[in-house]
Amino acid sequence: LKVDALVQRGHYQRRIVDQLQVPAPTSSSRLIARPFKAGGGFHRTSLTGVALSDVDQTKAFTVSKDGALVGWDLESMRRVNSFTGRVTDHMYNRITPGGSDLHPYKRHSCLLAVAVSGDGNLVATGGSSRLISVWDTRSGDHVQDFPGHKGPVTGLTFQSGTNQLFSCSDDRSIKIWSLDDRAYIETLFGHTAQVTAVDCLRKERVVSVGSDRTCRIWKVPEESQLMFKGHTASGDTCKFVNQTTFVSGSQDGSLSLWSMFKKKAVHTVRNATAERQARALTPALARHASRPAEAGLALWPPVRTPTSLQAAQGTGALDS
């Protein structure tokens, strides 16, 4: 009963450090997003975001600078045609009420962020159009667009176990949305430059990084925030490990492990992302998905190195 209660509250932790193994050189799998001759469907330019479903980890969704949203089956390593085709049809065949062909789903409107809801039924995308678009993962149908940001949408995340969505933007703000009520809730201000990434677990507590080289934890119910400094360049990505610990990556090539109880990083790995432009971090660290400059998606098992183990042993356990 105690374990069940901890799981429901998102506080249950499992020690996994001893289970990490060195992968074989050929153990990674790669999806190559080649152009589709009939038009649409595959990515034609660089990938900008990737999201894995928590419920069904055989599903992944990717977005790119060409404005495409593509669903993938990771078991067969193939595109999900039913979902991707439906999304593509809506993006490029919809006519606006005024009859104009200038709508937010043109090729020049690149997508920069993607997130999957906790139940796996919804996927949200955002980009240079300043809109947040929500799609049904089962049918590919368009659910709704959410306007509100004054700059490109750069990051999206769902609160675990809910349909509450957090978005960040170049307009230096973080906005909260309820997809159950299909409504805007509130805006969080604090960053002094573009906000580049955002993440949330079960609690209404958000972590973000931005071009102002700071990481921030937002305690939404208390209407307060904590600021962390350490990176020497713009932050690229951030992920909670548990409710009090998070990881951040920066354009200075470093990965840092933070505790909300300390202003300085618990551990920092220098030049950790030198070979790739950006990295998406999974909370459970069970699978890494990186997005290199070429239009492809690489999936990596956890790597056991002295530096990664030293960082992991700082916490000793991860959320289930």
Q: Each residue of 240-286: pLDDT tens digit?
A: 988 889 999 999 888 999 999 998 999 998 887 654 444 445 444 33
Position 56 scores a pLDDT of: 82
Q: Contact at 8 Å (CB) between 125 and 112? A: no
Amino acid of residue 254: S
Interacting residues of 99 by C-beta distance below 8 A, sequence separation 6+? none
Q: Contact at 8 Å (CB) between 239 and 227? A: no
Q: Kindly report which listed range (161-175, 250-264, 274-288, 302-316) carries the lowest average pLDDT score.
A: 302-316
Whole-number Å distance between alpha carbons of 259 and 246: 7
Q: Six-digit token pair at 21?
A: 């193994």
Instruction: Compute the Cα dihedral for 13, 15, 16, 19 and give only its sign.
Output: negative
Length of the chain: 320
Q: Is the pLDDT of residue 312 over 80?
A: no
What are the beta bridge partners of residue 124?
115, 134
Whole-number Å distance between alpha carbons of 122 and 116: 6
Q: Kindly report which listed range (27-36, 127-136, 146-155) carries the lowest average pLDDT score.
A: 27-36
Q: Contact at 8 Å (CB) between 113 and 132? A: no
Position 317 scores a pLDDT of: 36
Q: Contact at 8 Å (CB) between 239 and 282? A: yes
Whole-number Å distance between alpha carbons of 100 and 96: 6
Q: Contact at 8 Å (CB) between 68 and 41? A: yes
Q: Contact at 8 Å (CB) between 144 and 127? A: no
Band (pLDDT 50/70/90 cuts) for residue 291 is very low
Whole-model pTM: value is: 0.76
Position 104 scores a pLDDT of: 45
Q: Six-digit token pair at 18?
A: 């001893």
CA separation (Å) from 64 to 32, 70, 265?
A: 13, 9, 32
Q: Is the pLDDT of residue 207 over 70?
A: yes
Q: Kindly report which listed range (147-151, 172-176, 178-182, 284-288) carries the lowest average pLDDT score.
A: 284-288
Position 27 scores a pLDDT of: 55
Amino acid of residue 121: N
Whole-number Å distance between alpha carbons of 53 and 121: 9
The mean of the pLDDT values for the chain is: 77
Instruction: Compute the Cα dihedral for 41, 47, 52, 57 and give only its sign.
Output: positive
Place of tokens 């690229």: 236
In 118-213, beta strands by DSSP E? 122-127, 132-136, 142-146, 153-158, 164-169, 173-178, 183-189, 195-200, 205-210
> Residue 121: which of 143, 107, 108, 136 has the closest Cα?
136
Amino acid of residue 57: Q
Q: Contact at 8 Å (CB) between 195 and 151? A: no
